[in-house]
Amino acid sequence: MASLLAKKLFDDDSFNFRSPLKQYDDAEEDNSFSPMMDYFSTKGSSSFVAEDEDSRDSGIGLDDSFSNDDCPLSLPSRPFVQLNKVCEEGKIHSQNIRKRSRSQSDQDDSPVQKRKRPDAIPEPSKCPLRLSNLHSEHEIKTALDRVSENPDLISDGSVAYCLPTVPGKHQDLKSITPETLARLQKHEFDDIVDEFLIVDCRYPYEFQGGHIKGAVNYYTKDSIVENLISKPVITRSSATKRSILIFHCEFSSQRGPKMSRFLRSQDRQMNKDRYPQLCYPEIYLLHGGYKNFFEKEKELCTPQTYLPMHHEDFKKDMRTFRCQSKSWAGEKKSRSALRLFL
């Protein structure tokens, strides 16, 4: 019935009305709208005003009013109800179209494009990254098992320790005697050791009061990072010879073991993508520290003296250097970043 009335209306030359929704039909190519719906949505001589906010924004509303007296047709009430229903459906459809267009415009203007979710998760056989991760995990597990089953292997699990070791206070560290270190300094291990470095972790006044020949004085974490991590000083020059480190303090009880473990943790962090490889896989602790070495190998010390940490003349220096040894620039940066995050 509605289509017949619309045909009659457009065939009548005396009626010169063009619905503004016709323009909307041409723009959106939506055939669900009828040019009669605006006409039948009016009652009596009341004016037609667009109620849809989206219609007003898009210029679909009709500013000029008109009355039923201008229409040469008398319309029954039933088509009027049906066409009003069509109007409501058209209104909802118009809102949906605008929402889709706005959403698409926002996506186009956004500098970050959202990734489309894949339709299906690839099979493990078609996911090389996943297989690579599994392979790395397998290598890590194999290396850990190998080291745990054989504690005589160095920390990368490649070979056994080359120097004879003795049981010490720190079970996680390999200890050597002053006699073994003296033999190392006398080149008795040149067939297997390519180079070695002695790290003295005592305070500067202790080091100046007497130290092992060829030793370096690194008593803070910053000095360990700067001199051993940022620019590794020794590397394995051949597959058959080793490059080793020997840590110690006055008694090799606190400061020496602490710095040795710190170096190992930083070495692991630096080589986390190449586990179990390390820059310094073979590290030893001098059993009994400098005091024990001085008592047994005094001729290998320079100057040939021993200055204890708790010397009466250096109490103030001890407090200063102790505070420095407990601080670390890397730890301060981490705390600052945590404060900013919180």
Q: What is the C-alpha separation between 10 and 5, in angstroms, rounded? A: 9
Cα dist from 20 to 25, 123, 291, whole Å: 9, 55, 101
The 3-state DSSP composition of the chain as helix, strand, coil percent (nearest 5) reads 50, 10, 40
The DSSP symbol for 160 reads B
Q: What is the DSSP letter of 188?
A: T
**Hunting for tokens 């019935």 — which residue is that?**
1
Cβ distance 200 to 307 under 8 Å?
A: no
- CA-to-CA distance for 127 and 129, rounded, in angstroms? 6
**In this structure, are residues 244 and 332 in contact, taking their beta carbons and an 8 Å threshold?**
no
User: Helices (H) and strands (E) in the chain — how many of each?
Assistant: 13, 7
Half-sphere exposure of 182 (CA within 13 A, CB side): 15
214 token code pair: 């060829």
To which H or E segment does residue 302 belong? strand 301-302
Residue-by-residue DSSP string for 113-156 = PPPPPPSSPPPGGG-HHHHHHHHHHHHHHHHHHHHHH-TTB-TT
CB count, 10 Å around CB of 254?
12
Burial class (CB within 10 angstroms; exposed 0-12, middle 13-18, buried 19+) of 137:
exposed
Is 71 a known active-site residue? no
Half-sphere exposure of residue 216, counting CA atoms within 13 Å on the CB side?
A: 13
Q: Which of 249, 279, 301, 323 is catalytic?
A: 249
Please identify every residue annotated as catalytic.
249
